[in-house]
């Protein structure tokens, strides 16, 4: 159930304490989402037009949760709202059917995202937030991780034989070797040479070693004989994801900034690799 405006006196006191405890109240710096306003539910777009800020909380029980903030008298006013599939807005907090305060769980996860966690928001793959939805779908797609598993990461949609994709990898390779970055390659493509090598990349036991060798000119590193039975279906699912997401030509990079939780995308090879890495290096 949802505690809404009918008990607004309780909601304001309770929610104010909840937000203060979890987010640090007015001391928290709320980052504006990089998602275009056109992707917001209309009721939230109007709030943003009027000067407010909106951040996605997650999707649960068919509802999208949001943190909304606005400046008034040099102070931040922070509240949580929920939007329904048809665009209606409910002000308040959300409890699960067994009485668990879902809003608190969502705010705790949100706090982690704006302070370092790069994971997708819970339930985002079913949400109306298109950028969060695509990020969650990418997280669950078939990809290979290159680099230290504890390092901050980014996803790069690639055609395996794309020269710009391979060049972009070379730009990042030293940072990966130094343990400062993990690159998650999401291979896709309809051309047979990209399907074959991409499927092999999703099949080999050591994808980082194989990818380095392949980019270095060893075509046998991702040869057809290395392809496992389900690899083509995984690669084709990535191709469908890229098509449905209307991605531009590869490489296409997607990541959540560790410093503030903002989802960021780069179309093509980054023109300033140090500027990109500044968002990952502490």
Q: What is the pLDDT of residue 40?
A: 65
Domains, the chain, ranges and CATH?
2-116 (no CATH), 141-277 (3.40.30.10)
Average pLDDT of span 132-146:
96
Per-residue pLDDT tens for 63-86? 999 998 887 777 788 889 999 988
Per-residue pLDDT of 89-133, as tens digits, reads 999 999 999 999 999 989 998 888 888 889 998 888 988 888 899
Question: What are the φ/ψ torsions at residue 84 (nearest 5 degrees)?
Answer: -90, 165
pLDDT tens digits, one per residue of 3-61: 332 222 223 333 443 444 444 432 222 233 344 444 567 778 878 887 788 888 989 99
DSSP β-ladder status, 93-94 and 75-83 = unpaired
With a pLDDT cut of 90, the percent of the chain lying above it is 57
Contact 16, 9 (CB under 8 A): no
Q: Is 216 helix (H, G, I), strand (E, B) or coil?
A: coil
* The model's pTM: 0.79
């Amino acid at each position: 159930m949802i505690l809404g405006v009918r008990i607004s006196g309780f909601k304001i006191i309770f929610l104010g304490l909840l937000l203060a405890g979890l987010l640090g109240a007015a001391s928290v710096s709320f980052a504006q989402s990089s998602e275009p306003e056109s992707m917001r539910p209309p009721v939230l777009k109007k709030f943003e037009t009027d000067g407010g800020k909106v951040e996605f909380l997650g999707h649960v029980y068919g509802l999208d949760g949001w943190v909304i903030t606005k400046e008034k008298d040099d102070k931040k006013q922070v509240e949580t709202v929920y939007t329904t599939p048809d665009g209606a807005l409910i002000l308040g907090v959300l409890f699960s059917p067994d009485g668990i305060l879902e809003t608190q769980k969502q705010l705790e996860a949100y706090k982690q995202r704006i302070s370092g966690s790069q994971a997708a928001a819970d339930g985002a793959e079913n949400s109306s937030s298109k950028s969060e939805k695509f990020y969650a779908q990418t997280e669950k797609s078939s990809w290979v991780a290159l680099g230290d598993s504890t390092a901050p990461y980014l996803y790069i949609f690639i055609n395996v034989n794309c020269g710009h994709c391979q060049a972009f990898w070379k730009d990042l390779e030293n940072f990966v070797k130094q343990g400062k970055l993990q690159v998650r390659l999401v291979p896709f493509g309809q051309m047979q040479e990209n399907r074959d090598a991409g499927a092999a990349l999703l099949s080999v036991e050591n994808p980082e070693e194989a990818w380095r060798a392949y980019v270095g000119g060893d075509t046998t590193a991702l040869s057809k004989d290395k392809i496992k039975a389900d690899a083509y279906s995984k690669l084709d699912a990535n191709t469908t994801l890229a098509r449905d997401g209307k991605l531009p030509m590869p490489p296409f990079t997607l990541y959540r900034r560790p410093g503030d939780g903002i989802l960021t995308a780069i179309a093509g090879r980054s023109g300033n690799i140090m500027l990109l890495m500044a968002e990952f290096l502490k």
